[in-house]
């Protein structure tokens, strides 16, 4: 019977495959996962480790801070991405990243069903959640956090209903997670919210004899917190991440750390989920169900402060409000006439529910079919030209490969990927590594607010690859030391005029 269950496709598998098709397989969805250049240096860091270079503790990629201490705190994800790229190129990277994003939504759907949501309510909630999460569907380590968080919260929720020893598996999971992505902090925050909410519930309802759940979840929080010390940097990693998250400069200049602007379809879908969660939170507080209310409110606040937390809000809040909405729906349909449309839909839900509560090998088979190109698919062979000056860089590959180029942090990420290991950059997407001093200098240079001539000589810039909207472009067009080599719709390429050998001698002296 168990073998048959594995071989017979389930409705849960159909949902997973449908999400793959909707989000990525149609149109140019796969290449959209490469819209962030950080993927480039993640891949190359992983390959550095795979090549026997060891875990990097010093910078590998810059000429502005060569050899400076660096926390490669997502090293395990980097190894996975580097290995995938080595085996299957960018196709392997985007396929696994897309599968992780779809798996997280499928787990959220299953969790919502488990909490009492009917098929239609859970499906509507998860489709909204999938749409809202597209703003952060990128082939970066955070996609693994979404899967781990969705599975962890379901396990935690099960324990709250029926305590078992299985919940303590979260501690060793955290020991792995801390080396995958900094999102392990999201789980610690959720366990902390559950512990505080449970304490409030016990204090108001159970009296002094009901504190066992509070001790349980406080102990779980402590165990998971200690487990996160099992990383190459120990407690220094936590200090580093805390400083990174508190940095006002990061919040001011990094888009994904800023508040959402409700102007796109994805953010309008998030707005629906946000209102649903806040309405439910008010009802939960009135009924003194503080744990669920705190989970929703904490992550609603986090998502409104930083757009990068929207997918986390989806994972945390969707099963909670969908479960409560599903209970209301079932109560309402139970009072309808036997042949009413509402009652018929409720019966369809009841019949379909078992098909969503299991998973077979067909989901894996679908990924194998995609990986083997049994079904023709448009896979990326490079980063998207809509975001990166791919063709211009290729035309000047011989000159740029080992040169000192001043460019955007995102395009520098791509240069790291494109010319590894020969190329070094002034600044890239590792904003925590470069810090506010170099980051602010980079912005002043881009906006032509610094002494360009002196600074460019100080750092030995030989080329400038700039988007046309940069104020620096106007300065360089008139600057006697620089000449325009080529321009296209995406970028302008400038080269320092004069004797290239003299420039190389100055760089060598430094």
Both 395 and 367 in one domain: the answer is: no
> Are 351 and 406 members of one domain?
no
pLDDT tens track for 297-307: 999 999 999 99
The verdict on 334 and 453 lying in the same domain is no
- Same domain for 209 and 314? yes
Same domain, 351 and 400: no
| pLDDT at site 510 | 40
Residue 405 lies in a domain: yes
Phi, psi dihedral angles at 290 (to 5 degrees): -75, -30
How many CB atoms sit inside 10 A of residue 464's CB?
27
What is the structure's pLDDT at 206? Answer: 63
The verdict on residue 410 lying in a domain is yes
28 band by pLDDT with thresholds 50, 70 and 90: low
Better-scored residue on pLDDT, 435 or 153: 153
Q: Cα separation of 472 and 444, whole Å?
A: 9
405-424 average pLDDT score? 96
Q: Pick the last residue of a domain from 310, 340, 371.
A: 371
With a cut of 90, say whether residue 462 has pLDDT above it: yes
For the segment 180-194, what is each residue's pLDDT rounded down to a tens digit? 999 999 999 999 999
pLDDT of residue 207: 60
292 CB-near residues (< 8 Å, 6+ apart): 197, 281, 284, 320
* Percentage with pLDDT > 90 across the chain: 68
Q: Is the pLDDT of residue 448 over 80?
A: yes
Q: Are 195 and 221 in contact (CB under 8 A)?
A: yes
Domain finish residue from 324, 343, 371 = 371
Residue 78 included in any domain:
yes
Residue 39 lies in a domain: no
Q: Shortest CA distance to 377 belongs to which of 101, 28, 16, 15?
A: 28
Average pLDDT, the chain: 90
Q: What is the pTM of this model?
A: 0.92
In a domain, 215, yes or no: yes
Higher per-residue pLDDT: 346 or 90: 90
Q: How do strand 463-466 and strand 492-496 relate by DSSP bridges?
A: antiparallel
Instruction: Clarify whether residues 361 and 408 are in a common domain.
Output: no
**According to the model, what pLDDT value does residue 500 have?**
47
Share of the chain above pLDDT 70, in %: 96
- Provide the pLDDT for residue 208: 59
Residue 384 domain-assigned? no
The reply to whether 205 falls in a domain is yes
Same domain, 80 and 135: yes
Average the pLDDT over each of 104-108, 339-343, 451-455 and give the range with the smallest value.
339-343
Give the pLDDT mean for 358-381: 85
**Average of per-residue pLDDT across 52-58:** 91
Confidence category of residue 253, pLDDT binned at 50, 70, 90: confident
Least confident of 24-33, 101-110, 178-187, 453-462: 24-33
Give 505's pLDDT tier (boundaries 50, 70, 90).
very low
pLDDT band of 245, cuts 50, 70, 90: confident
Q: Are residues 361 and 425 in the same domain?
A: no
- For residue 369, pLDDT over 60 is answered with yes
pLDDT at residue 69 is higher than 50: yes
| CB 370 within 8 Å of CB 376 | no
Taken in order 103, 106, 112, 113, the sign of the CA dihedral is: negative
For the CA atoms of the chain, what is the radius of gyration? 26
The average pLDDT across 61-68 equals 94
> Is pLDDT at 233 greater than 50 in this prediction?
yes
Residues 58-82, mean pLDDT to the nearest whole number: 95
Q: What is the pLDDT of residue 209?
A: 62
Query: Residue 275 sits in which domain range?
Result: 2-32+71-371
Using the structure block, give the residue that is written with the tokens 């930083």: 306
Residues 282 and 334 in one domain: yes
Total structural domains within the chain: 2
| Burial class (CB within 10 angstroms; exposed 0-12, middle 13-18, buried 19+) of 497 | exposed
Tell me: pLDDT of 196 over 70.
yes
Please give the pLDDT value at position 328: 82
User: In the prediction, which pLDDT does 502 show?
Assistant: 43
Q: pLDDT confidence of 501, banded at 50, 70, 90?
A: very low
CB atoms < 10 A from the CB of 157, how many? 20
Q: Could you tell me how many residues make up the chain? A: 510
Bridge partners (DSSP) of residue 40 are none
- pLDDT single digits (tens) 144-155: 999 999 999 999
Answer yes or no: do 471 and 397 share one domain.
Answer: yes
3-state secondary structure 439-488: HHHHHHHHCCCCCHHHHHHHHCCCEEEECCCCHHHHHHHHCCCEEEEEEC
CA triple 459-73-91, angle to 5 deg: 85
Give the highest mean pLDDT range of 4-8, 234-238, 449-453: 234-238
Whether residue 184 contacts residue 175, with contact meaning beta carbons closer than 8 Å, is answered with no
User: CA 49, CA 83: separation in Å to the nearest integer?
Assistant: 10
End-of-domain residue from the set 307, 342, 371: 371
Does residue 419 sit within a domain?
Answer: yes
pLDDT, average across residues 447-451: 87
Whether 181 and 226 map to the same domain: the answer is yes
């Amino acid at each position: 019977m168990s073998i048959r269950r594995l071989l017979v496709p389930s409705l849960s598998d159909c949902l997973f495959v449908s999400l793959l098709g909707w989000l990525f397989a149609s149109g140019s969805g796969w290449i959209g996962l490469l819209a962030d250049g950080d993927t480039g240096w993640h891949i190359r860091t992983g390959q550095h480790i795979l090549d026997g270079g060891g875990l990097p503790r010093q910078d590998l990629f810059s000429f502005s801070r060569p050899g400076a201490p660096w926390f490669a705190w997502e090293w395990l994800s980097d190894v996975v991405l580097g290995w995938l790229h080595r085996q299957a190129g960018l196709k392997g990277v985007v396929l696994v990243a897309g599968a992780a994003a779809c798996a997280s939504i499928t787990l959220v759907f299953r969790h919502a069903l488990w909490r009492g949501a009917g098929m239609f309510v859970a499906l509507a909630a998860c489709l909204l959640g999938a749409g809202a999460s597209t703003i952060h569907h990128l082939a970066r380590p955070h996609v693994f956090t979404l899967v781990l968080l969705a599975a962890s919260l379901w396990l935690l929720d099960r324990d709250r209903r029926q305590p078992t020893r299985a919940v303590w598996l979260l501690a060793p999971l955290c020991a792995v997670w801390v080396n995958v992505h900094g999102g392990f902090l999201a789980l610690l925050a959720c366990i902390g919210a559950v512990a505080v909410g449970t304490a409030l519930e016990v204090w108001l309802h159970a009296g002094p004899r009901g504190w066992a759940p509070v001790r349980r979840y406080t102990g779980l929080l402590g165990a998971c917190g200690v487990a996160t010390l099992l990383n190459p940097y120990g407690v220094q990693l936590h200090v580093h991440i805390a400083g990174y998250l508190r940095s006002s400069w990061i919040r001011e200049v990094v888009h994904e750390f800023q508040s959402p602007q409700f102007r796109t379809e994805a953010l309008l879908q998030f707005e629906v989920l946000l209102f649903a969660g806040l309405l439910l939170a008010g009802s939960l507080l009135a009924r003194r169900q503080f744990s669920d209310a705190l989970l929703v409110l904490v992550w609603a606040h986090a998502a409104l402060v930083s757009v990068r937390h929207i997918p986390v809000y989806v994972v945390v809040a969707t099963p909670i409000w969908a479960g409560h909405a599903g209970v209301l729906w079932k109560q309402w349909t139970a009072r309808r006439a036997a042949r009413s449309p509402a009652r018929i839909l409720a019966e369809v839900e009841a019949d379909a529910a078992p098909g969503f509560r299991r998973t077979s090998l067909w989901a894996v088979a679908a990924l194998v079919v995609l990986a083997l190109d049994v079904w023709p698919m448009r896979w990326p062979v490079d980063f998207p030209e809509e975001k990166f000056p791919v063709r211009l860089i290729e035309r000047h590959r011989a000159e740029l490969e080992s040169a000192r180029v001043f460019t955007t942090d995102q395009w520098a990420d791509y240069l790291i990927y494109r010319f590894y290991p020969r190329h070094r950059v002034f600044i890239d997407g590792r904003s925590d590594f470069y810090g506010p001093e170099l980051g602010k200098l980079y912005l002043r240079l881009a906006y032509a607010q610094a002494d360009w001539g002196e600074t460019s000589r100080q750092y030995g810039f030989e080329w400038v690859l700039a988007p046309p909207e940069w104020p620096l472009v106007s300065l360089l067009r008139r600057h006697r030391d620089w000449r325009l080599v080529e321009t296209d719709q995406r970028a302008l390429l400038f080269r320092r005029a004069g004797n290239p050998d003299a420039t190389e001698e100055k760089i060598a002296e430094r």
